[in-house]
Amino acid sequence: MIFTETKIKGAFIIDPELLIDERGFFARSFCKEEFQNHGLETNIVQCNISYNKKKGTLRGMHYQVPPFEEAKIVSCFKGSIYDVIVDLRRESPTYKKWVAAELSEKNFKMVYVPRGCSHGFQTLDDNSIVYYQMTEYFHPECARGLRWDNPSIGIVWPVSQMVISERDKNYQDLKV
């Protein structure tokens, strides 16, 4: 696997190294040792699948607060998504900055979202399927969100026609 750190410390784009032959390819999507060598968490306790019917579906920007902050490994098994990470760590030099990557069934890329960051995505194709590996169990009492169009963050979403839940529409702006 090839780990490329983004401008947000601890957030990575991960490219699998494809071993290609006449049958197709083989690649690792997770290796505890390689993740640990990059200082990433490896205690995966929960995996989730998100099926999204329509292009433009936006899910986010989600995170959990202490004591149940979580890191995530996100990939797209079908279709494609515009995946976004926002740094919410006040002590970080990239506080309130965001990065994005396209994840798809064609490029096999993954993102690693560190604790203290918010995560969301927008589908670029109908019938997209997203797979998450989580380092913490879901705790509804610690679940939070950041509004997808928060003016102090300024995320630029690629699809203007959006499908978004009422909950995600109504998250508050990030307080400075």
Which amino acids are annotated catalytic? 62, 132
Q: How many helices (DSSP H) and strands (DSSP E) are in the chain?
A: 2, 14
Question: CA angle, corner 156, sides to 38 and 167, nearest 5?
Answer: 90
Q: What's the number of CA atoms in the CB half-sphere (13 Å) around residue 28?
A: 9
Identify whether the C-beta of residue 163 lies closer than 8 Å to the C-beta of residue 58.
yes
Phi, psi of 30 (to 5 degrees): -155, 135
Q: What does the longest C-alpha to C-alpha distance in the chain come to? A: 54
Spatial distance between the Cα atoms of 57 and 20, rounded to a whole number of angstroms:
33
Give the residue carrying structure tokens 């399927």: 129
Q: Is the peptide bond before 162 cis (omega within 30 degrees of 0)?
A: no
